[in-house]
Structure 1
């Protein structure tokens, strides 16, 4: 069975997909950690290659990352890509992908918190979050050995539900430990145009690997949501190059760098009631700037949210989130770009 066939069957069927070894990767240990989760570990390595976690499909309607993931699988199956570093491949929300929906019961990318996620919560996404957390824990413990956790890069690939002034950007989860410049440079080389640093814990999948394991986790927004077959993957070619280089263990050879604009989240607006609305057009782009005095949202519980002393940029506005969920982020630009100093 090829990797491509395995993941295609995983998405297409509600039955348990059974992995059977294939000859396509004879020098690689291929282990299924959970349905749709594969660890690829080279049997012999040179030096100390840095491990990578690559995930897609956490939201089922975000198809470009899934197609990019498929490109990697095809290259591995064809012998065009050698596994030179430990890699964990994760396809997230099978049922949502098959249904073409963001999620089935609840937003999977808000559930990655050990202290609050219950074993007996039988909603589909809750059970899937437990599977993915356990798989990451196993990879970090058995393969990475945790002493090298800081060198692990987790790239959780998404697409946004709206246009953006920076169509490809990285979200850095909150952490007390700053991201090394070399990681920002890798992301810039992969065609990302901006970086957004979170101001508090957010319990996303990339936050899980960073918060609980000390890995370099990022949520990557790679364009806009589109149906399968409608994505233009050409702008994502540099990202594919980085993913291939990380799997091969050759990412140190990537030298081409582009400036990457940095933003930091300063606040967020929550939907507290059913009587909630955003005070701007539905099609406004991520990173749009609003001057002081602008009304951004109205809530039946909290009233109006007005921009105060300094302009803010809005990111991920969504008035249709569940009650109690985040409706938008407010950000301000940092004084510098990467590569360079902060």
Structure 2
């Protein structure tokens, strides 16, 4: 595609949290610094096209949630000086951080909402700086399916109530919350559970869904919810297409944030992170997904839902893979193809 004909939206972002998630705990690989992740992002180049921005994890040691105003501004200056924008922010909603379980006690749920409030403070500082003009705040249930199955109806009701309270805080700060669809999160571990939770939360336009190609592939297979499986091993292309349409038709209206990724049909955990849909390199020969085609299902009407960027998620990639320049050029090339096919 000629430079003159290139589409400019959605903007292409790289996630910074692969340097943190599943890293730094006993037995796991060490963290990669934010500076290193920025360097890898800035250096990626495909025929003169580069990443437009980054998405951030508000978590030690990258960005402590109580980072001072001045330090947030210094962070914004650093990112802007590299020619990058900041998009979505991940709020630290989990036990052991400032947050806690969205289906726990009143005190735990209040901590969850506090984590969102603190994330909104940083979001506002970044917006005032001018480095952040789009994106959402990402959340999840901060608890696992095992606990949810103790009392599914009551658990979903509690999570929805917590999400509504957090949504009120977000809306007051001009923010939207995107709940990450992932098989390791309580009440969000299947596509049907996720739809039910969003419907009970009942804040369309404020509390929505973050779709990730790797995670939602496991939705199809019913990994943690066999009763909601749409496919069985050995499926045909026609069966996959029908199942993918069923899932995306249900979740796309709620989708306000989107991660490009690849999955090989397996689950993976690292360090303290539970097993979930494995993120694979964009060119993994065992990848189950046609990245460009599958992205199109989620990106239909994306601009109308306020999506202005998409992000690559390489969560729990080994550090050796992250530190290879060719990893990022291959990823960027895949994302450019998605934008050329489905952007505007």
**Normalised by the size of structure 1, how large is the TM-score?**
0.27
Larger Rg: 1
User: Which has the larger strand fraction?
Assistant: 1
